[in-house]
Structure 1
Amino acid sequence: MRILAICGSLRARSSNLAALQAARRLAPAGMDIVVFDGLAGLPYFNPDIDTDTPPVSVKALREAVGAANGLLVCSPEYARGVAGVMKNALDWLVSSSEFPDKPVAVINASQRATDADAALRLTLTTMSARLVEDASITLPLLGRNLDAEGIVADPDLSAQLRGALETFAAAIGHG
């Protein structure tokens, strides 16, 4: 089972990226989590260039989504909204055939980021994602300055993340 992890932060030491990297280490047997690293290279969404031959970076995103059995999304909240790079990536997927009915789990890396989490979920369901609510969790990472190893080493955080991934795998396996 191939899971594409998409981080909505471009920061090298992002807690969102750390959560996805920890998920890679905690994934159940048979689940391969690949972190997509091309968000920074996507052009601003423009329907005029969303043609039969989209930009190479857009094609790479769509192919990665198409090759995945599910998506794991973790994105920060900026000014009470979804991060611009995440929304831009989703805009490029709106008209693609690869995204509809794709199983998606959302990891929220901040217990205070409720507005963006709700907006992200609304956008995903509007785009016809199969949002797996039981696998979508909030990890209380705000103010903890943990990297992936720190998340994996924390018994509560790792148990919560491992449980979400097992639930996600089961949902995809029975979908």
Structure 2
Amino acid sequence: MKKKILAIVGSASENSSNLKLVQHISNLISDEVEIEIFDQLAQLPHFNSEQSQDNPPALITKIRQAILAADGILISSPEYVFSIPSGLKNLLEWCVATTVFTQKPACLITASASGKMGHEELKFIMKTLDAKISENTCLLISGVKGKLDADGKPLDEDLTVALLNLIRHFEMEL
């Protein structure tokens, strides 16, 4: 039976480097793993703590179920103003009052101009949500625009090796 990864793209941009990167990674994943890409953060309603537990919107229930059903979560996100994008933060806030990420293997990629602060924030939030992450399943790609071609494939050998190592470690966690 194939393992399932839910890949969450943290960018709302239609021409996102992070979406292209996730699409490229889906081609590198082993045949025993299936990836479903979620790139619709902009469609999620704004977080409302009063609805979060007792009356979540249907789209929130659907994404929570997708997270719960997945064997692992891959998040690829840019950094905006030294933080994670608001759409990704919104999704994660909708999940705080749940256990959908509890001990769920997670692979975290921050691909941005700099990304360091956003990457640290994403790791901190996912640890707070009790996701299962390690340094081997986290990757910061600074200067991403100059490191990927138009299809999201790495332009240099170092990034290719880093992605393959990341994927190998993540698949071992599933």
Q: Note whether the superposition's TM-score is higher than 0.5.
A: yes
- Residue of 36, 40, 43 corresponding to 2:38: 36
CA spacing shift, 1:88–1:147, aligned 2, 3 Å: farther
- TM-score for both structures, normalised by structure 2: 0.89
Q: Determine if contact 1:102/1:129 at 8 Å carries over to the other structure.
A: yes
List runs of 5+ in structure 2 lacking aligned partners: none
Give the corresponding residue for 1:128: 130
Deviation at 1:43, TM superposition (A): 0.7
C-alpha distance in 2 between matches for 1:150 and 1:95: 35
Give the corresponding residue for 1:11: 13
Q: Secondary structure at the match of 1:108?
A: strand
Deviation at 1:39, TM superposition (A): 1.4
- TM-score for both structures, normalised by structure 1: 0.89
C-alpha distance in 1 between matches for 2:58 and 2:106: 24
C-alpha distance in 1 between matches for 2:128 and 2:99: 15
List runs of 5+ in structure 1 lacking aligned partners: none
Runs of 4+ residues over 6 Å off in structure 1 = none
Residues 1-175 of structure 1 correspond to what in structure 2 (within 5 A)? 1-110=3-112, 112-144=114-146, 146-147=148-149, 149-151=151-153, 155-172=157-174
User: Over the residues paired in the alignment, what is the CA RMSD in angstroms?
Assistant: 1.9
Residue by residue, what CA displacement relative to the aligned partner does 1:35-94 show, whole Å, maximum 9, x if unpaired?
113312111111112243410110111011011011111111111111100100000111
Q: Determine if contact 2:74/2:107 at 8 Å carries over to the other structure.
A: yes
Deviation at 1:8, TM superposition (A): 0.8
User: Number of residues paired by the alignment?
Assistant: 172
Q: Determine if contact 1:2/1:34 at 8 Å carries over to the other structure.
A: yes
% identical aligned pairs:
34
Larger relative contact order (CA 8 Å, sep ≥ 6): 1
Deviation at 1:154, TM superposition (A): 5.0
Q: Determine if contact 1:110/1:139 at 8 Å carries over to the other structure.
A: yes
Deviation at 1:138, TM superposition (A): 2.2
Q: Secondary structure at the match of 2:146?
A: coil
